[in-house]
Structure 1
Amino acid sequence: MGVALRDILSDYKNPAGWDKLSGKGAFDGNNALYQFLTTIRQPDGTPLMDREGRVTSHLSGMFFRVSNFLEKGMKPVFIFDGRPPDFKSDTIKERREAKEKAEIAYKRAVSVGDTQEAYKQARSATKVDAEIIESSKRLLSLMGIPVVDAPSEGEAQAAFMVINGDVSFTVSQDYDSLLFGAPKLVRNLTVSRKRKVRGRTITVNPEFILLPEVLFGLGITVENLIEMGILIGTDFNEGIRGVGAKTALKIVKNDNFDSFIKEKAPEFDPYPVKEFFLNPPCHRDYNLKWDKTDSDKLFEMLCEEYDFSHARVESVLDKLNEGAGQKTLDQWF
């Protein structure tokens, strides 16, 4: 879900042309998989599947879009979540229950032929399970893409790697990367380029946000930004009812965070959450090595094992191996 900072970040979103996206990018792997699984579906919400009924939407998104990133000169690395902190248990439980309800609603919609409702509920019921993660890691390995298993939150590990100078930016749809101190966050690389909003279709373009610009423009510190997140609600706490981004900004700029928490949520101790954002568990000894694509094994995995189109996979592999061809984002999204 992530922290709801959108209302105060509109002035700090910059268009991300490929000249801004070359270099090494740390992708929030779980977030990317969720985006692929929710967007790559049939009109009735059914995901792509092979002949055995195994979901392949995530593999399709990972292979075709990551191939495009490679063609454009990006060196992606994917970071996957480790063990969540104990105070995230309530959020995990709520999400699990919401997905179970959505699954029931999806089956009901299918039974009555309500395609639109089925699609909506299918997206809400999306799960990223161990099998999906492991098959994605195997695919990335065959593509020569490094994978890092974070000790805890993937976004925290990605942010650390940018701060450490080993990658240039993080890639995620969530704004949590900023709370973990990521200097540069890139969004909209793993989502569908076209989206329906209130009955009309809009184009979603890649964008980047620079944390120093946000902090300077809002007149706050990273600690203030974390405090805002806590007031609004993060993956680790539910927030204060009625407090949005603009209200939270006023509270922290007036130095009223502590008093506001004591008044509105006297039973809640915000400092374990704050400390987690400031000093999250991160690996320091990760290995970032980009290898050549193993075309034979990739073809075997995607086409022989998961029933992908031979022609489409061959076309992509030829371009990766030859380093030729200039496709636009529109052709992949």
Structure 2
Amino acid sequence: MGITKLCDLIRREAPNAVSYKEISDYTGKVIAVDTSIVLNQFRTAVPGIHNRDGVNLSPFTGLFFRTLHFLEHDIKPVFVFDGCPPAQKKTVLEKRAKAAGMIGSYGYNPVSTKIQDCQRLLKLLGVPYIQAPGDGEALCAQLVKEGKVDAVASEDMDTMAFGSSVLLRQLNAKKASEVTEYSLPKLLDALKLKYEEFVDLCILLGCDYCEKIQGLGPKKALALIQQHKTIEEVVLNVNRKTHPVPQCWRYRDARRLFMEAPVGNEPDLAWAEPNEDGLVNFLCHEKHVKEDRVRGRMEKFRQNLKERRTEREEAKKAGKSQQTRMEDFFRVTRRRQALEVPEATHAKRAKRQ
């Protein structure tokens, strides 16, 4: 779910916080990818692709093609996987499972066979992945705040509530697609809010971690936060007859989840050339994807890299200094200077609209 109607509020109140770009605009950037969103897109877009053993191939083939597409555009993806969800998310996850016809435990299994297979595929593609301790978008946002990546690719607007200064939506594999970029600093400036006030606004709008005040729309919620600054003050001033406040409302837990930095191991962000023979063995011999599809895509990948290398050589001759070797592209990336983000009063921290 993400943050209810946050997109609508941004379009109406802060249109300058949104820009529309092409995937080529992110050449040379390191992008944290909210992997659960990507895998879900593949499952729902092409749910009928199964091999002779009944295994759904959509997540594997989708991840294979999309990752190569990123690499062809000199984008360095870092795939972030969800860990175990926080207890505060139990209610919303159970509702989603029921709506999907899956009755049972709400828990997410980060070590399932499918997840391990996806991680194995990424390793063969030479792309790093990270297992988050909790929600993946929280760690994605934290990577931006620490300067390890330049932006987060996700469809979930709560990535901004977690503190990511740049959110990319529709960073997909379609050549002519328009990428929607959201800027948190520009949004805060337009709304005249501090980051912690924005987090409280997101909770009032509706998030995955607690209930919301009933009947409170985006326009009213924004006005209340702009006037009263905190949920505590909003509760004291809101009309409880028209906008009843939930009993035992756990908004403080939600606030803490958004603002506290996730605790995890230091990520090792290194890229390598794809292992074509390993990919063929995994995708074709184990998952029974047609070999000509995999070989053909790898050949196209090499040709595209060669063309880009030639373009860089020509640009270099023209006086522009750019990397020209494949080995240069797949080098280890050093820690980058942190992007500018608003300060929070709590510890630093950094699904679906």
TM-score with structure 2 setting the length:
0.76
- Structure 1 pair 129–285 and aligned structure 2 pair: CA distance change class (3 A): closer
1:299-318 alignment, distance < 5 Å: 299-318=280-299
Structure 1 position 95, deviation (Å):
1.5
Tell me what 2:214 maps to.
241
- Identity among equivalent positions (%) equals 29
Distance 1:282 1:218 in 2: 30
Tell me what 1:95 maps to.
96
1:36-55 alignment, distance < 5 Å: 36-41=42-47, 47-55=48-56
Counterpart amino acid of 1:50?
N
Pick one of 15, 22, 32 that aligns with 2:20: 15
- Structure 1 pair 271–192 and aligned structure 2 pair: CA distance change class (3 A): farther
1:1-333 alignment, distance < 5 Å: 1-4=1-4, 5-10=6-11, 11=15, 12-22=17-27, 23-41=29-47, 47-100=48-101, 130-190=112-172, 205-255=178-228, 257-261=231-235, 263=240, 264-283=245-264, 285-322=266-303, 323-324=305-306
Distance 2:191 2:131 in 1: 34
Counterpart amino acid of 2:141?
A
Name structure 1 gaps, 5 residues minimum: 42-46, 103-126, 194-202, 327-333
Distance 2:67 2:307 in 1: 15
Moved >6 Å (runs of 4+): none
Counterpart amino acid of 1:311?
D
Give CA-to-partner distance per residue, 1:156-215, whole Å, 9 cap, x none: 11111111111110010011110011011111124879xxxxxxxxx9621111110111
Give CA-to-partner distance per residue, 1:85-143, whole Å, 9 cap, x none: 121111222122111179xxxxxxxxxxxxxxxxxxxxxxxx99933322211111110
Which stretch of the first structure deviates more once superposed, 138-147 or 266-275? 266-275
Aligned CA-pair RMSD: 2.4
SS in 2 for 1:186: strand
- Structure 1 pair 266–259 and aligned structure 2 pair: CA distance change class (3 A): farther
SS in 2 for 1:254: helix
Structure 1 position 27, deviation (Å):
0.3
Counterpart amino acid of 1:209?
Y
- Residues 134 and 262 in structure 2, CA contact (< 8 A), matched pair in contact too: yes
Structure 1 position 67, deviation (Å):
0.7
Give CA-to-partner distance per residue, 1:292-329, whole Å, 9 cap, x none: 11100101111222222322211221233452357xxx
- Structure 1 pair 80–297 and aligned structure 2 pair: CA distance change class (3 A): same
SS in 2 for 1:293: coil
Give CA-to-partner distance per residue, 1:14-71, whole Å, 9 cap, x none: 1122343121000011111111211124xxxxx2111111111111211111111100
- Structure 1 pair 167–130 and aligned structure 2 pair: CA distance change class (3 A): same
- Residues 25 and 167 in structure 1, CA contact (< 8 A), matched pair in contact too: yes
Structure 1 position 283, deviation (Å):
2.2
- Structure 1 pair 38–325 and aligned structure 2 pair: CA distance change class (3 A): farther
Name structure 2 gaps, 5 residues minimum: 104-108, 309-353
Larger radius of gyration: 2
Which stretch of the first structure deviates more once superposed, 256-265 or 62-71? 256-265
SS in 2 for 1:77: strand
Higher helix share: 1
TM-score with structure 1 setting the length:
0.80
- Structure 1 pair 284–252 and aligned structure 2 pair: CA distance change class (3 A): farther
Distance 1:244 1:169 in 2: 29
